[in-house]
Amino acid sequence: MPWQAYDWQHQLADAIRDPDRLLAALGLNPALLPAARAAAARFPLLVPASYLARIRPGRVDDPLLRQILPLGAELSVGPNERVDPVGDLTARQAPGVLSKYRGRALLIATPACAIHCRYCFRRDFPYRENQAGRGRWQAALDWLGTHTDVSEVILSGGDPLTLDDHRLAELIDALGQIPHLRRLRLHTRLPVVIPDRVTEALAVQLSTSRLSAVVVIHANHPAEINTEVRNALAGLKTAGIPLLNQSVLLAGINDAAETLALLSETLFEAGVLPYYLHQLDPAVGTDHFAVSDDRARDILGELRARLPGYLVPRLVRELPGETAKRPL
């Protein structure tokens, strides 16, 4: 298995953060630059070379480019857009702990991501006050230790796999010592964005924890899944980790049954089952990605007609204050 040629931390450090460099690297029209700069000033551009390599040059409508290119459309605030679109702030229980659903608690393990998705629902999340990382895990661990009804902890962020193996081991070991916890879930885009992040040490760590681990990746389009991603997923799969995928339904990116069907089939061949297809959360500056509920239901109907049931993701919308994500 090709573990670590040019290690993932260097790949992350060398990621493109400058809109000028992005446009030049992809041979895109420099006229896009002023808007890209303005939008990136609100939510920075971030894209590592491994993901960039999957974007077709010169194509402003490329579905992978659309996920990362800052656009002027982000600067207009739609009537339904909110800074805290899914009620995260009222769900906060301790620094870095969100609890909305019975039996599960979500830990904001770090504010960092390996890519900035323009549609991100946490683009305005006040991480500074709400992260559990940087020596601040104790309060989160204490909260989990006293809440015996919690059986599953979800490491989220940001992206928990931006933590290095050592920090992650510390956290996972500490979680493993909380007797009522049974499952450890990771919500991460890293196996897709920087596949080299899936080190052998990571796979061993997850498979040897007392907790049953499950990894939920995030891919939106079949072109995101290349050979490197398949190898990374195979590393986790070989270690016995169940793999699921969540996607966001995004206008102009994956709002077609054909695309989503191919995504499910491509993921299945890589050992991943579809989990959720999320309706977009109305974060500020994202409404150009929204797909209407009617259209979303039509797309899902078409997927059901084309695919075996186990390859059809659950179409859901998250509404603040509900006991689960709501099926559409």
Ligand X SMILES: *Cc1c(COP(=O)(O)O)cnc(C)c1O
Residues forming the site for ligand SF4 (CB under 6 A): 113, 115-117, 120, 122, 157-159, 189, 218
Q: Report the partner that residue 66 touches, choosing among ligand SF4, ligand X, none (CB closer than 5 to 8 A by kind).
A: none
CB of 117 to ligand SF4, least distance (A): 3
Backbone dihedral angles phi then psi of residue 158, each to the nearest 5 degrees: 45, -160
Query: Whole-angstrom Cα distance, residue 21 to residue 265?
Result: 34
CB of 169 to ligand SF4, least distance (A): 22
Q: Report the partner that residue 106 touches, choosing among ligand X, ligand SF4, none (CB closer than 5 to 8 A by kind).
A: ligand X
Rounded to 5°, angle at Cα 238 from 237 and 242: 30
Instruction: State which residue, 170 or 322, has the beta carbon closest to ligand X.
Output: 322
Rounded to 5°, angle at Cα 121 from 119 and 127: 125
CB of 90 to ligand X, least distance (A): 11
Query: Whole-angstrom Cα distance, residue 132 to residue 68?
Result: 26
Contact 302, 325 (CB under 8 A): no
Give, as ranges, the residues between 162 and 221 that touch ligand X (CB under 6 A).
Answer: none
Strand 243-248 with 212-218, pairing:
parallel
Instruction: State which residue, 154 or 161, has the beta carbon closest to ligand X.
Output: 154
CB of 156 to ligand SF4, least distance (A): 8
Instruction: State which residue, 3 or 101, has the beta carbon closest to ligand X.
Output: 101
In 3D, which of 213, 256, 262, 207 has the Cα closest to residue 235?
Answer: 207
Contact 42, 10 (CB under 8 A): no
Per-residue interface string for the shown chain with ligand X, residues 309-328, x marking contact by CB under 6 A: ---------------xx---
Length of the chain: 328
Per-residue interface string for the shown chain with ligand X, residues 125-154, x marking contact by CB under 6 A: -----------------------------x
Give, as ranges, the residues between 17 and 76 that touch ligand X (CB under 6 A).
Answer: none
Query: How many residues in the shown chain lie near ligand X by CB under 6 A?
Result: 9
DSSP tag of 287: G
Q: Report residue 44 as tokens.
A: 């920075």
CB of 262 to ligand SF4, least distance (A): 21
Instruction: State which residue, 99 or 247, has the beta carbon closest to ligand SF4.
Output: 247
Per-residue interface string for the shown chain with ligand X, residues 75-114, x marking contact by CB under 6 A: ----------------x------x-xx--x-x--------
Instruction: State which residue, 106 or 283, has the beta carbon closest to ligand X.
Output: 106
Q: Report the partner that residue 127 touches, choosing among ligand X, ligand SF4, none (CB closer than 5 to 8 A by kind).
A: none
DSSP tag of 325: P
Q: Report the partner that residue 85 touches, choosing among ligand X, ligand SF4, none (CB closer than 5 to 8 A by kind).
A: none
158: preceding bond cis by omega (within 30 degrees): yes
271: exposed, middle or buried (Cβ count in 10 Å: 0-12, 13-18, 19+): middle
Please list the alpha-helical segments (H only) found in the chain. 8-13, 19-26, 33-42, 49-52, 65-68, 127-130, 137-146, 165-176, 190-193, 200-208, 227-238, 257-269, 293-306
Q: Report the partner that residue 100 touches, choosing among ligand X, ligand SF4, none (CB closer than 5 to 8 A by kind).
A: ligand X
Number of CB atoms found within 10 A of residue 20's CB: 13
CB of 72 to ligand X, least distance (A): 30
CB of 115 to ligand SF4, least distance (A): 6
